[in-house]
Homo-oligomer: A and B are copies of this chain.
Amino acid sequence: MNVTILNTPSVARLQSLLALALMVVGLGLMTDTFLTSDNGWNILRQISVNLCLSVGMTLIIISGGIDLSVGAVLALSGAVAAGLLKQGIALPFLGVHLDFTITGAIVSAIAVGAAAGACNGLAITRLQLPPFVATLAMLSIARGLTLLWTGGFPITGLGPSFGFIGTGAWLGIPMPVWEVLVIVMLAALVCKRTAFGRHLYAVGGSERAALLAGVRVERVKLIVYVVGGVLSGVAGLLVTARLDSAQPNAGLGYELDSIAAVVIGGTSLSGGRGSIVGTVIGCLIIGVLNNGLFLLDVSPFWQQVIKGLVIIVAVALDRFGAPKGRAG
């Protein structure tokens, strides 16, 4: 849409920041607990998983694609990590039984994520499937594999040292926050300061122009989906560690949450425009909203209505300040 195209990220970001500020002030006045540091960390801890997914989603959407499989891949890699950690894996044909250290389990979970991402990327570049279809298929496949791997039962009792990456804290700051902070920093750097980042924007903005300029369009796409898969894997580890349990149905519907965060953050689904910072703000808006609704003890029925309305207002504020599109 022209509108979003003319809409400069900086403006968008400012606007959604405004929406966020309004919510924070409002909740600060309405409740006495919202503006406590505890609650602050609590919100950050809670958005960490969605933020982790949304960072990957942002990169993918900037490149003009989309990834519906994040939630399913999250569940799969979480389950793989837990399974390997708990029982290891038996290779009958070799007659061996491999046990996994925590590191081993973590690495293989991330590898699983990367593999899923690679499949997405190849389906999109080689088979030229629309990203929506390719990743929708992956959603279904990853869900199925998770159920097959777990038999439908949670894998629990992974021990404190594994749990640390999800529940621990360092310098008084929760581990998930540290981890996601690093990821955000890296992603922002990649977007703004690397050739790959520029190529992402170019491909998302005009695939043809990027190609003519000599950008390796297919390679860029492949890489970005692998990155997305890796981040889903990390998110899977976070969830599993926090619950000290890998749930077969973990991450159900997370894809929409994360796309919502990205879009609320001012990234355009038509590709080529967007920013990691915006996505961080988007996640914060959603996190603050959820948290606030509980602090106000809004009935579960009303919560959904209010969420919908707030999303509209937040994004409308976004558009509001931005220059009108010529077609507007």
Contacts and interface: CB of A to CB of B under 8 A. Distances in A.
A226 B328 CA distance: 20
A324 to B, nearest CB: 8
Interface in A289-328: 300-309, 311-312, 315-316, 319, 324-328
A319 B208 contact: no
A227 to B, nearest CB: 20
Interface residues of A, number: 59
Given A312-B137, A327-B211, A132 B269 contact: yes
A127 B311 CA distance: 12
B301 A127 contact: no
A67 interface: no
A13 interface: no
Interface in A184-218: 207-208, 211, 217-218
A216 to B, nearest CB: 12
Interface of A: prevailing SS:
helix
A144 B128 CA distance: 38
B307 A148 contact: no
A158 interface: no
B208 A144 contact: no
B133 A264 contact: yes
Contacts of A137: 307-309, 311-312
A17 interface: no
A304 B123 contact: no
Interface of A: 1-4, 64, 68, 123, 127-130, 132-134, 136-141, 143-145, 147-148, 152, 207-208, 211, 217-218, 253, 256, 259-260, 263-264, 268-269, 300-309, 311-312, 315-316, 319, 324-328
27 contacts: A1-B64, A1-B128, A1-B130, A2-B207, A4-B130, A127-B316, A127-B319, A128-B319, A130-B263, A132-B259, A133-B264, A134-B312, A136-B259, A136-B260, A137-B311, A140-B305, A140-B307, A141-B305, A144-B301, A144-B305, A144-B307, A147-B300, A147-B301, A148-B301, A207-B327, A211-B328, A253-B253
